Chain A
């Protein structure tokens, strides 16, 4: 029984140490994810397989081979359904190995169970290693490309990427003009920074219907920092360091969103090209 435990413990994900290559997920997978479906059918069938696999192990470890056989049959059923759901991934599946697992359980032969489980598990691992990260990034995040943001400074509709570029340029301009001592130009750039930062909040609501999520990013510190930038820039000789400190608070808000959203957005964009 120990062998069984050890074997199943090694059936997790394994990736190459040096690189992770992301392959564009097949289009047919889209049927099982938003916006086409919010039932996550493919994830559900994966969970069914994983549960059934554990059901086999759990029952064998308790000496209940009849129950283990029941779970092995369930595993075969879910495995077959999964194979038919995404035609492009059909070759990852080896249904004969699921049959071998059933036979091994029926024969109550632990060595054969271990062999069949390892080989069957490898088919899962191979597919996961090649596809799981890309699928997560593409299908478990909203499609950023469809979002539009309106620039409050120029009144034009922009993609999030274009908007962020303008916001970033405004922030750099504010920094540059302050460092050069161009106070009036710094004021103009500062006003654009404030307006564009406030404008980012409108994009959050496109996906986040729970306002507390947005408030966690654009919270009190963030609001105070924006107010500080406006107040400090009105002074005859703006305190450069104080403005930079306030900008770093805004930068932390940027980071919070970027850490969560930037990688999937970049991957999605790469797959669109």
Chain B
């Protein structure tokens, strides 16, 4: 097979070989699993992501009133994702959610776009540096993008939510993987991430507890339409006994922690000590996860 490929290359040259190797159905917006024929590892990562579940998630089915809320649909099954533009709803394979072709195939060029320069005989490929910038995500994640802009950080969405995996093969299909060098790869699991204890600054001053988001470059929690929540529990010890103060912060109630803006909680007088617990709950989950527990 390898010899045959090399012989073809010698005989016909790259251009002719590309024509021979072209797989036309790849330019007809195939299902995500078709991309797994070559990009098995990336597909496996994407399969675990919320993007893969964007349409089939039971939470979304319920929240979109059985797919009747038109405004929500196009971001959950986008036809083509472009920087800064809200996509239109895809017609085919909606169950794939935010699929491979939604992000990587462009109608204008009939080619797969991505941040790397690659030679890919089965389909035309274009190097496209917009994939490295936050505004690529802004068409759907509008609110989060606006919050991120306010923070003026150098970190892009991709830096955190598509973490580097080092150099890896882009394809796993014999014999084609033999013709490719490993390239810088970033995770397609799009982890939601959880704030770390050091992302939150806790201070007690003048009878108040101040909680500041110092490490996450957008609101905490953040969402365009989902309803993730942050639960703050403050257990205060006073001479009169224990007292519990609770605060529920949510994106939809506009009470989320803005980056760098202290959130204050009035404390009772004469406190001996206090314990702060902060939990989070994602939109699609019923589970509360502990972010930090601290005694002050």
Chain A interface residues (CB < 8 Å from chain B): 34-38, 142, 146, 150-155, 191, 195, 198-202, 204-206, 209-210, 218, 234
Contacts and interface: CB of A to CB of B under 8 A. Distances in A.
Contacts of B252: 201-202, 204-205
Contacts of A209: 69, 71-72, 225
Contacts of A205: 225, 227, 252
Contacts, number: 57
A195 B255 CA distance: 9
B66 interface: yes
Contact of B253 (A34, A36, A191, A202): A202
Contacts of B65: 34-35, 38, 142
Given A155-B246, A155-B248, A205-B225, A198 B253 contact: yes
Interface residues of B, number: 23
B153 interface: no
Contacts of B58: none
B185 to A, nearest CB: 35
B210 interface: no
Contacts of B266: 191, 234
Given A150-B229, A206-B63, A34 B68 contact: yes
A195 to B, nearest CB: 7
Nearest to B227: A202
Contacts of B66: 34-36
A154 B63 CA distance: 24
Main secondary structure of the interface of A (DSSP, over half): loop
B242 interface: no
B250 interface: yes
A186 B66 CA distance: 44
24 contacts: A34-B65, A34-B68, A35-B65, A37-B68, A38-B65, A38-B70, A150-B250, A151-B248, A152-B247, A152-B253, A153-B246, A155-B233, A155-B248, A195-B247, A198-B254, A201-B252, A202-B250, A202-B252, A205-B227, A205-B252, A206-B63, A206-B227, A209-B71, A209-B72
A146 B229 CA distance: 19
B255 A154 contact: no
Contact of A195 (B62, B229, B248): B248
Main secondary structure of the interface of B (DSSP, over half): mixed
A199 B231 CA distance: 13
Nearest to A210: B71
B288 to A, nearest CB: 9
B57 to A, nearest CB: 16
B189 to A, nearest CB: 27
A169 to B, nearest CB: 17
Contacts of B72: 209
Nearest to B268: A184
B209 to A, nearest CB: 13
Given A150-B229, A155-B246, A202-B250, A38 B68 contact: yes
A234 B208 CA distance: 12
A153 B227 CA distance: 17
B255 A198 contact: yes
A154 B248 CA distance: 9
Contacts of A152: 246-248, 253
Nearest to B66: A35
Interface string B217-232: 0000000010101010
Contacts of B250: 150, 199, 202
Smallest CB-CB A-B distances: 5 pairs: A152-B248, A38-B68, A35-B66, A202-B252, A35-B65
B225 A154 contact: no
B59 to A, nearest CB: 12
Nearest to A148: B227
Contacts of A151: 248
Contacts of B229: 150
B83 to A, nearest CB: 22
Contacts of A206: 63, 227
A17 to B, nearest CB: 37
A150 B70 CA distance: 26
Contacts of A37: 68
A155 B62 CA distance: 22
Given A152-B246, A199-B253, 9 more contacts: A35-B66, A35-B68, A36-B66, A142-B65, A152-B247, A152-B253, A198-B254, A200-B253, A202-B227
